Structure 1
Amino acid sequence: MAIVDEPSDIAALEQRIEGTVAILRRVEAEYLPAVLASSFSAEDMVLLDLIRAHTPGIDAFTLDTGRLNAETYKLQQRVRERYGPVVRTYYPEAFEVEQVVASFGVNGFYHSLEARQACCHARKVEPLRRALSGQRAWLTGMRRAQAATRSELPIEEHDPEQGLIKLNPLAEWQEADVWGYLRSHGVPYNKLYDQGYRSIGCAPCTRPVAAGEDIRAGRWWWEHPARRECGLHRSPQD
């Protein structure tokens, strides 16, 4: 069973669903072409399910960093079987990864912030730019309650780095809402959540969290919490 077992407030969840669908419909009406950036997190699965049901004009993509968990790949196949080939995959450029490994070593990200950010840039940030090319807006599954770095996350904002509208339709959702939706709609999820993970990225940079720890405590746990973003969601002044 997934780590979050407390039930969500059904009435409140229905209101959140209605509000999120309204956001998605506005995106489809006003911002196409638009695309969901999915890491196949629990939140991204909520959005993908809602998009396929209500606003199929919104596309979706994922970034395969080359260092994902086996469970993540298994979920990708389950998504394809349920929804069809609706999530396009982008990969890092080989020469970018080769340069990072040559400069810092294959696991150099454990030893310096510079190395970790260089790895994230090659495996995530550069492919993201290609994935967003030609889009007017992009959507994420980020929530305010996930981390201190996201506490003031707006539902809609201008992304100066990408020059696009960026929408976070689940910004106001709580973790129990996410799991309430997945369970009530029978949506597949990453089985690592059943092992104590609460935020899932690359295998070497993600671990389960202990009871009482922050949701993202298992991401880059050797770094200061204020730095625990990969670069996909930072403005240039960060």
Structure 2
Amino acid sequence: MSGDSSTVSALPGAEPAAGSAIALYARKGPDFKAKLAATVERLSAAAAAHPGRIVQATSLGAEDMVITDLIARHRLPIAIGTLDTGALHAETVDLIDRITTHYGLPVEVFRPQAEAVVTFVREHGERAMYESLALRKACCGLRKLEPLGRMLKDRSAWITGLRREQSEARGEVPFEDRDDAGRLKLNALADWRWGEVWAYIAEHGVPFNPLHDQFMPSIGCAPCTRAIAVGEPFRAGRWWWEDEQAKECGLHVSQAAGH
């Protein structure tokens, strides 16, 4: 793709660059207005039910940027937190400051324990994630799961950008779920389609990761993300060397359910 939004977000009413994610994907469904209203209602209800104890766990992807915009636009008392794994693309890390600049909202940043990362790399090397599924999951564990645990400590609810359309494994994602600790897990955009995510971004000038303009719909750590080809599944660019059924890092897998 030729479009590049690394310095400029989509502007309401502006003509998107040819080949950009907005130009390619932004499409509203006939029920989009009702879907948007229901999403705001879900977010508002969760904020009211969990005062001071709810956080948006943003991956800084397109879906999560929509949720952050809704939180800011409707002045919802929901904290915003993210994981800086130490292996993210520079473009992804830049979004943290862009959120604060654009919305005037603080972002809680949780990083892995430095000693644990150093030890892991010393013992298994920089390319350990490619060596085995066990090592890749161990890397995700120390870079993502442990920091997420600190983000969710003392909180009773969290919000994700999971959508049913993202993969077969997420095809039945509910709006509300409970994690293994019993916290409310609100998947606020569960029924949104990819085109609706981008229609909202275009209409409201939401900042987004310029890597989306390079055929990366799902963006994780740099070593574990690649662009996808036309016709490939939404998450084909994540851990592409692994079996399709293994493509989760553990953030959204119920240990009680065993999957």
Are positions 1:141 and 2:161 aligned together?
yes
Instruction: Work out whether 1:89 is the aligned partner of 2:109.
Output: yes
Moved >6 Å (runs of 4+): none
**Alignment correspondent of 1:28:** 47
* Deviation (angstroms), 1:181: 0.2
Kept in 2, the 8 Å contact 1:28–1:55? The answer is: no
| Matched residue, 2:24 | 5
Is 1:115 matched up with 2:115? no
The two structures, once aligned, show a CA RMSD in angstroms of: 1.4
The aligned residue for residue 121 of structure 2 is 101
What is the Cα deviation at residue 11 of structure 1? 4.2
Work out whether residues 3 and 198 of structure 1, in 8 Å CA contact, stay in contact via their aligned partners in 2. no
CA distance in 1, matches of 2:21, 2:57: 23
Encode CA deviations 1:34-92: one digit per residue, 9 max, x unaligned: 00001110000000000111242111100000011111122222212111242110010
Deviation at 1:125?
Answer: 0.1
Task: Please report how far the alpha carbon of residue 103 of structure 1 lies from its aligned counterpart in structure 2 after TM superposition.
Answer: 3.0
- TM-score if structure 1 supplies the norm length? 0.95
TM-score normalised to structure 2 length? 0.88
Cα displacement (A) at 1:131: 0.3
| Identical pairs, percent | 46
**Matched residues in 1 for 2:158 and 2:25: separation?**
31
Once the 2 structures are TM-superposed, how far is the Cα of residue 96 of structure 1 from its aligned partner? Answer: 1.7
- Aligned equivalent of 1:154: 174
Q: Distance in 2 between matches of 1:165 and 1:4?
A: 35
The answer for the alignment partner of 1:207 in structure 2 is: 226
Aligned residue pairs, count: 237
Letter in 2 for 1:217: A
Q: 1:139 deviation in Å?
A: 0.5
CA distance in 1, matches of 2:109, 2:75: 20
Counterpart CA distance in 1 for 2:120 and 2:137 is: 10
Select between 26-35 and 203-212 the one with higher mean Cα deviation: 26-35
Matched, 1:48 2:68: yes
The equivalent of 1:195 in structure 2 is: 214
Letter in 2 for 1:185: H
Task: Give 1:226 deviation, angstroms.
Answer: 0.8
- Preserved CA contact (<8 Å) 2:26 2:197: no
Does residue 77 of structure 2 align to residue 57 of structure 1?
Answer: yes
SS at match of 1:123: helix
For 1:164, the equivalent position in structure 2 comes to 183
Is the aligned partner of 1:185 residue 2:204?
yes
- Relative to structure 2, which stretch is displaced further, 10-19 or 221-230? 10-19
Cα distance in structure 1, aligned partners of 2:168 and 2:28 = 24
Structure 1 CA distance for aligned equivalents of residues 29 and 132 of structure 2: 45
Distance 1:147 1:17 in 2: 22
Tell me the CA shift for residue 185 of structure 1.
0.5
Measure the CA separation in 1 of the matches of 2:22 and 2:204: 18
Contact 2:167–2:233 (CA<8 Å) still a contact in 1? yes
Q: Distance in 1 between matches of 2:116 and 2:247?
A: 22
Amino acid at match of 2:64: D
CA contact (8 A) 1:139 1:167 kept: yes
Which sections of structure 2, spanning at least 5 residues, go unmatched?
1-19
The one of 243, 247, 251 aligned to 1:224: 243
